Amino acid sequence: MEEQIIRGEYADIMQQSYIDYAMSVIIARALPDVRDGLKPVQRRTLYDMYELGIRYDRPYRKCARIVGDTMGKYHPHGDSSIYDALVVMAQDFKKGMILVDGHGNFGSIEGDGAAAMRYTEARLARISQEAFLGDLDKDVVDFVPNFDETEREPEVLPVRIPNLLVNGAEGIAVGMVTSIPTHNLGEVIDGVKAMIRKSDLTTEELMKYIKGPDFPTGGIVVNEKDLCALYETGQGKIRLRGKVEVEPVKGGRERLVITEIPYTMLGANIGKFLNDVAALVETRKTTDIMDISNQSSKAGIRIVLELRKGADTNQLKNLLYKKTRLEDTFGVNMLAVAEGRPETLGLRQILEYHIDFLFEVTTRKYKNLLEKEEKKKEIQEGLIRACDIIDLIIEILRGSKSRDQVKACLVDGVTQGIRFKSEKSRKLAAKLNFTEAQANAILDMRLYRLIGLEIEVLMKEHEATLANLASYTDILNHYDSMARVIIKELDDYKKTFGRPRRTALENAEEVVLEEPRLEPVPVVLLMDRFGYVRTVDESVYERNKEAADAESRYVLPCMNTDRICIFTDTGKEHLLKVQDVPHGKFRDKGTPLDNLCNYDSSQESFVAVLPLNDIADTRVTFVTVQGMVKQVQGKEFDVAKRTVAATKLQEQDAVLAVLALPEQSHLALATEKGYFLRFPAAEIPEKKKGAVGVRGIRLSPEDKVREVYCLGKDQPQEIEYQGKTIPASRLKPAARDGKGTKLKL
């Protein structure tokens, strides 16, 4: 075969390939289908369990068997993705309604992982079998080939309840993400019924039935007023709070008990919450918490905070809501695959798609049942007619030589080759016109069916068949009749599987945390060259002044209410509250700066530490290793954020010094090659934080600024160079942007 070379633009081929990949991830892996609310891996796992006969009323089977069979037949993407999906469908703290009945260690609400699949067992939950897979044998959905076309799998499961809302969904695709909260089964069924009866309901009217999300962990939704807009657009934020109760303790004390947590606190975030509460105590944000213990068990969440006598429980609740994840935000983006494409859907749209799917499945089901009843009716009519002329049929059977000969006589009245007792019998036989199916049924009929009681049973079966035919025809031909059938099924599911709402809904006020008023006290902040920082009392500093000055890189007298600006070589400013710095004895080691603000010692180094109050009403001078200089108004650094960009840097540049220069002072720049340039600070122009600045000194290739000196009336009149002390008078003032002079010793 001759080789064919297809030429094309590389960019076009890559673009098309990436689009194909992205759509594959979106449709075939990450997003649920709006009809059954399942991702492909979930759908395939449930169907495989159904095919293996692992029903809710049968023994459990090893999860390894389920995972292996699913991977080999339907989902060739690795065993971990299948087992993870299986585990989540069995966790009642993640799903509004479990779809798999797990036996063994399937993880915990505190983030413990499930045991290996060789140890755990599972079977279908009852609702999965009845409401998800119950009608698969009635040709209600289309089947498609699997990945290697050796098996067939359902394109979608015939789910009878709006699973997308009941169990929610989470998934990350390429360039899009879905996050749908769980809802109460009974409420969602009531909403579906209401829309079936009246299809033009508004979102606000639907919310009379579907109040809001219902998370398996309970908790409280505190922005109920925002839910209508969220359900209208399919996007928004839900503010969740844990449920906190106050319990009295002996001795007149009280304790706070957290009995429900926000859904977002699942897993490792419970441990993080405990650490955050401990941090509040360590940093003295509160002194009322004496002990914290996690007493959670299979019975539910129970986190206990022991309090001091007389503690303000309301203030403590607000502190927990404000400073920990006990109040958190759940971002909602109701994205699902609808008609083969990803679409963000509102509440009404989800219910409309589901109701259309319900009517489609029900129509296909009753068409299938109608077809079966019509075939049954045909057989029954043939058997009843055969019973009336049973003597003639027996005569035909006895006079025939083969089954085909009898069948030809029954269907077409062919009597050649058949011996009859009389000509009358031959003429009657020639008039027979049973259908082929009726003829086969007569030939397969057993003699006991000729008993009188059996004939009566046959007549009653025929009457039931006629009644079913009338009923099915009515259902298929009339919307109201089909709606009644669907509503009855939904009522049965609600009665069998419904449960009370767990999540409370309310409109709560924003938490206002009354920070305890800090009494201003003068302190001294000490910071060593390794970035360990602490504060001590002024009197402690005065007693140890010589040692403190020798051991500390920065010694800053300030108030405990002040803020400190930490400037780094990467051009960042980190703001640090003095009250957040540990206060202690002089010989305490202190706390690393990394633990107190966003400073990262592995990525940056501090070049200046200045109290914000000292620079707020003056100008701050920046000098970089490439000789760039500028002045910035100090008030620009008084910001709310903990970290901001203090200056803009050129490529390969770094901040060397940040100074608060006095009036009428001079700036002296010293380079690595020994060049010095002294010029008045007044020549440095004022710029904004986002500016690069201007050139302070012209550098020769491979040279850079090494030291910066501030020279003035109240400043040192000497400088250090190559280990020697040089009078500042040797540096003659010049203009900014000069090359400088090389100092000779």
Bridge-based pairing state of the strands 504-505 and 220-221: parallel
pLDDT by residue (tens digit) across 636-661? 998 888 899 999 999 889 999 999 88
Q: What is the pLDDT at residue 384?
A: 85
% of the chain exceeding 90 in pLDDT = 53
| Selection from 665, 656, 661 nearest residue 614 by Cα | 661
Q: Can you read off the two tokens belonging to residue 722?
A: 């190559």
Rounded Cα distance between 138 and 140, Å, is: 6
Q: What is the pLDDT at residue 297?
A: 84
Mean pLDDT over residues 518-533, rounded?
A: 88
Mean pLDDT over residues 659-666, rounded?
A: 82
Mean pLDDT over residues 413-439, rounded?
A: 87
Position 389, amino acid: I
Specify the length of the chain in residues. Answer: 745
Sheet holding 606-611, edge to edge: 606-611, 563-568, 572-577, 643-645
Q: Can you read off the two tokens belonging to residue 227?
A: 């839910």
Q: What is the pLDDT at residue 714?
A: 62
- For residue 637, give the DSSP letter: G
Mean pLDDT over residues 454-481, rounded?
A: 90
Catalytic residue among 56, 119, 472, 675: 119
Domain spans of the chain? 38-158, 243-325, 362-496, 518-613, 616-624+655-745
pLDDT by residue (tens digit) across 580-592? 888 878 888 888 8
Q: Which residues contact 56 (CB under 8 A, 6 or more apart)?
A: 101, 123, 124, 125, 126, 128, 129
Band of pLDDT at residue 32, cut at 50, 70 and 90:
very high
Displacement of CA 232 from its chain's centroid (Å): 21
CB 337 within 8 A of CB 25: no
Q: Which residue has the higher pLDDT, 487 or 422?
A: 487
Q: What is the pLDDT at residue 745?
A: 57
pLDDT by residue (tens digit) across 483-507? 999 999 999 999 999 999 999 999 9
Q: What is the pLDDT at residue 450?
A: 65
Q: What is the pLDDT at residue 513?
A: 67
% of the chain exceeding 70 in pLDDT = 96
Q: Can you read off the two tokens belonging to residue 587?
A: 């010989």
Is a pLDDT exceeding 70 seen at residue 593? yes
Is a pLDDT exceeding 80 seen at residue 162? yes
Q: Is 399 helix (H, G, I), strand (E, B) or coil?
A: helix
Q: What are 520's strand-pairing partners?
A: none
Is a pLDDT exceeding 90 seen at residue 261? yes
Band of pLDDT at residue 48, cut at 50, 70 and 90:
very high
| Selection from 532, 602, 612, 536 nearest residue 574 by Cα | 612
Is a pLDDT exceeding 90 seen at residue 84? yes
CB 607 within 8 A of CB 655: yes
Band of pLDDT at residue 236, cut at 50, 70 and 90:
very high
CB 618 within 8 A of CB 626: no
CATH topology identical between 243-325 and 362-496: no
Band of pLDDT at residue 1, cut at 50, 70 and 90:
low
Is a pLDDT exceeding 60 seen at residue 678? yes
CATH fold for the domain made of 362-496:
Topoisomerase; domain 3 (1.10.268)
pLDDT by residue (tens digit) across 604-638? 999 999 988 888 888 899 999 999 999 999 999 98
CATH number of 38-158: 3.90.199.10
Catalytic site includes residue 366: no
Q: What is the pLDDT at residue 719?
A: 77
**Which among 121-130, 384-393, 662-671, 717-726 has the top mean pLDDT?**
121-130
**Whole-prediction pTM:** 0.74
Q: What is the pLDDT at residue 452?
A: 62
Which overall architecture, per CATH, does domain 243-325 show?
2-Layer Sandwich (3.30)
pLDDT by residue (tens digit) across 323-333? 899 999 999 99
Is a pLDDT exceeding 90 seen at residue 421? no
Average of per-residue pLDDT values in the chain = 89
Q: Which residues contact 317 (CB under 8 A, 6 or more apart)?
A: 244, 256
Q: Which residue has the higher pLDDT, 589 or 558?
A: 558
Is a pLDDT exceeding 60 seen at residue 595? yes
Q: What is the pLDDT at residue 212?
A: 95
